[in-house]
Amino acid sequence: MSHDPLPLPASRDALAEDAELLLSGAADAAVAGRLSAVLAADGEARERFVALARLHGHLGEVGRRGAAGEPGTARILATEFPGEAPAPALRVVPRPRRWLGLAAATAAILALGLAVLSLAIVGQRTRELVPTVAVTNGGDVLRNGRLIPLARGLRLRAGDRVSVPVGAHLAIAFAGGRCEIGGASEAVVEATDRVHGRVVLASGSMSADVAGGDLFAVRTPDATIRLSDAAATIGVAARRTQVVVMRGAVEVATLDGAARTIGAGASWTSATLTEVATR
């Protein structure tokens, strides 16, 4: 859709400038005092300030989506500033990767499926309101450029990139369910609006068990898997996705917009690029 460009106002606006300083954490006591005086006296200024603060909050959500790679949002923010200096390199120690083939991924997600089933049987599902690490034996979270070791009780938040090394595993409890991320996996926690949980599985394998009417979605490079009152395992290897449904039914939507429902006991594997090209 084409739009007219949105010009920035040429004139300066003291209220908007002070609001920006306050909302960005750059205000000093003088700015806060000046803003307080204006807002105390002027109802219209209060309405404008609240509108700016709401906008700031929503921009934060847009930024989180963009950082998590949500396609539409990331595209909007994919811009270059003329002469923009490159981002300083993160001091993240690379870990050796072991690339899993689809067969290895299948074995991994079957193992995870068994783990989920056993969790359901013994009733160990917890009900955390925010995604919280329930079990871990290694791995870390990349948050705002800082590496945080995974530890039981750590609350995850939108934008967190979780890395689980080979041989380790991670269990995350969230509202209405629980998910397990297998070894050699990379996942990003996406914004939690509309649905209680959404994870981008970049590589590796994971499983999820979601109770009742709660929703949980897993996005992979070539599909989005939505679970409600269902359990499934999902594996990603060589940019192909495999889904095995353990309980209930899940919806799988591919990048071309096609959606299908996969029932308990059934599995689905995305087409290779070659298969897609020959259609």
Partner 1 sequence: MLSSVRPVATTAVDDDRTPLHHTPAADGPAGCQSDRSPPHFLSDPMQRDELLRLLLDRRGAILGYIGTILADRDAAEDVFQETLIRADAEGVRFDHAGHAMAWVRGTARNLALNEARKAHRRSVVLDEGVLDLLDRTWAAGDGTGDREELDRLEACLERLGPTARTLVRLRFAEGLDGTAIAVRVGKTAAAVHTSFSRIYKALAACMQGQPA
| Interactions with partner 1, residue window 128-167 (CB under 8 A) | 129-130, 143-145, 155, 157-158
36 versus 261: smaller Cβ distance to partner 1 = 36
Residue 20 interacting with partner 1 (CB under 8 A):
yes
Residue 264 interacting with partner 1 (CB under 8 A):
no
Q: Which residue has the tokens 């040429």?
A: 10
**Of the candidates 71, 72, 122, 224, which one interacts with partner 1 according to CB under 8 A?**
72
Smallest distance, Å, CB 39 to partner 1? 5
Residue 121 interacting with partner 1 (CB under 8 A):
no
Token pair of 231, please? 């359990």
Query: Under 8 Å CB-to-CB from 105, ≥6 apart: which residues?
Result: 204, 205, 235, 236, 237, 242
Within positions 215 to 254, which residues make up the interface with partner 1, using CB under 8 A? none
> Are 119 and 246 within 8 A, CB to CB?
no
10 versus 122: smaller Cβ distance to partner 1 = 10
**Of the candidates 162, 175, 181, 237, which one interacts with partner 1 according to CB under 8 A?**
175
- The Cβ-side half-sphere exposure at 38, using a 13 Å CA radius, reads 19
Q: How many residues bind partner 1 (CB under 8 A)?
A: 78
Stretch binding partner 1 (CB under 8 A), from 186-194, 202-210, 217-225, 228-236: 186-194
105 versus 215: smaller Cβ distance to partner 1 = 215
Token pair of 133, please? 């690490």
Between the two ends of the chain, the Cα-to-Cα distance in Å is 28
CA distance 206 to 186: 10
**Of the candidates 96, 213, 257, 265, which one interacts with partner 1 according to CB under 8 A?**
213
Residue 92 interacting with partner 1 (CB under 8 A):
no
54 versus 239: smaller Cβ distance to partner 1 = 54
**Of the candidates 21, 104, 107, 115, which one interacts with partner 1 according to CB under 8 A?**
21
